[in-house]
Structure 1
Amino acid sequence: MVKAILICAALAAASLTGCAGLSADVHTAHPSATLSGERTYAIARMPSQEENADHPPFESVLRDELAKQGFGEAAGQPAHYLLSVAYETRPASVGVGAKDCAPTDCVRPPDAPFSLFGGRAYQHALTLRFFERASGQEVYKVSAVSSDRDADPLHAMPALVKSALAKFPFDAPPDWRVKLRADGTSGVPGVVSVKPLQP
């Protein structure tokens, strides 16, 4: 039993260190959405984002990827879409489940302040929401989540943005796995594959 737990922990650690390659899980609330009309947008910022030093460089990465999808920021005229951007980085936990205990006896242990094989693991998340400016209706929402051992959200953002916009829009089903590989010269991640997650 102890051997099995150690193997599971090692596999979990390997997936977080990048041995299995860089990947992100993507979820969309509006599979196969149709974004009609002019592809212009304006980013709707929250006050906390206006004050956050990480936000301007992050928006630069996002603008570049949106331009590849044919979107441009509205210049001197109202945008067709308002784009809401939310992102966070937080410590992740790796749990080990046990099947041989009664539900009342299975108590989740507190998260360890470190992982078994190196530094603490972190989960990075990005959510993009497109609203039609005229109606205020949300027409597309996509989220991307990845894990690694880097606490800096700016290091994770290029991969998250690439993953969230790897297909635009994503078709059904709503859940996908995007695999990426960092370019050896520039370090910028490129999409290797986009596959639906099996239920």
Structure 2
Amino acid sequence: MGKRWALATLAVVSVLLAGCASTVTSQVTAFGDAPGFDGPRTYALTRTPEQQNNQEHATYEQWLRTRLAGDGFSERSPSSAHYLIGMTYGITQQMMRVTEPVYDPMFAPAPWGPWGRPWGGYGYPFGAPPAYVERSYPYGLAGLQLRFTDRASGKEVYRVQANTSDAGTSLASAMPYLIDAALGQLPFPSGRTVNVEQKVGR
């Protein structure tokens, strides 16, 4: 039981360290009046002052344009688009503390079977039990928010937030998953949080 627990813990930690999970899970929460997208699917992107002349933001905008095109949206000028879409995002660096077993090398689990090392020692539980140490591992908690505003009325018609801790420690690595998750369903049910799973490298 202890060995299986240790292996499971190490698997989780390796995912956080390497960012190599086979899937990325995002938590998506939306607010808006259903159906929310009755009008023409035309849009223009808006920018905050900090996002002007920002090459990182321009890259994320291009990823968003590509995803919106796949949903049947067409970009127009800010004076003629049906929707104005604002995009905000960020990442915070977090630390996860994990308690892990540490074995005396003489009694550590070995590939030679249940009897431990071939030169002596019979392995736990026949030898010394493992000690336990706490280690800290970094991970990133990334978030994206998209805000759809009706240009003619100025009314916000839809807001969606996506968050994930599965996509590495950089915002650039997380953004493709966040954009895809946030637009995975238009619209998502208002006021509910939905888990969206995406395969890595698809």
Tell me, yes or no, whether TM beats 0.5: yes
Specify whether residues 51 and 92 from structure 1 end up closer, same or farther in structure 2 by C-alpha distance, changes over 3 A only: farther
Equivalent runs, 1:36-185 vs 2, <5 Å: 36-75=38-77, 77-94=79-96, 114-115=136-137, 120-148=138-166, 150-171=168-189, 174-182=192-200
Q: Residue in 1 aligned with 2:30?
A: 28
How many residues align? The count is: 163
* Greater Cα shift, 143-152 or 78-87: 143-152
2: CA distance between counterparts of 1:137 and 1:76? 15
Structure number having the greater strand percentage: 2
Provide TM-score, normalisation by structure 2.
0.68
TM-score (norm 1): 0.69
Runs of 5+ in structure 2 lacking a partner?
99-133
| 1:136-188 deviation digits (Å, cap 9, x = unpaired) | 11100111111147333122111111100111111356111111113xxxx3x
Higher Rg of the two aligned structures: 2
Q: In the aligned structure 1, how far is the partner of 2:6 from the partner of 2:191? A: 34
Q: Percent identity?
A: 32
Asked if the contact 2:148–2:156 (Cα under 8 Å) also holds between the matched residues in 1, the reply is: yes
Give the counterpart letter for 1:41 in structure 2: Y
In 2, distance between residues paired with 1:62 and 1:11? 32
CA distance in 2, matches of 1:74, 1:161: 20
Q: Evaluate the alpha carbon distance shift between residue 149 and residue 21 of structure 1 in structure 2; reply closer, same or farther with a 3 A threshold.
A: closer
Counterpart-to-counterpart distance in 1, 2:92 and 2:85: 23
Distance 1:137 1:8, change over 3 A: farther
Aligned to 1:99: none
Distance in structure 2 (CA, Å) of the matches to 1:76 and 1:127: 20
Would the aligned equivalents of 2:144 and 2:163 in 1 still touch at CA under 8 Å?
Answer: yes
Instruction: Decide which moves more: 158-167 or 169-178.
Output: 169-178
Q: Any conservation in 2 of the 1:31–1:174 contact (CA below 8 Å)?
A: no
Distance 1:160 1:31, change over 3 A: farther
In the alignment, the residues of structure 2 paired with residue 47 and residue 75 of structure 1 have an alpha-carbon distance, to the nearest angstrom, of: 19
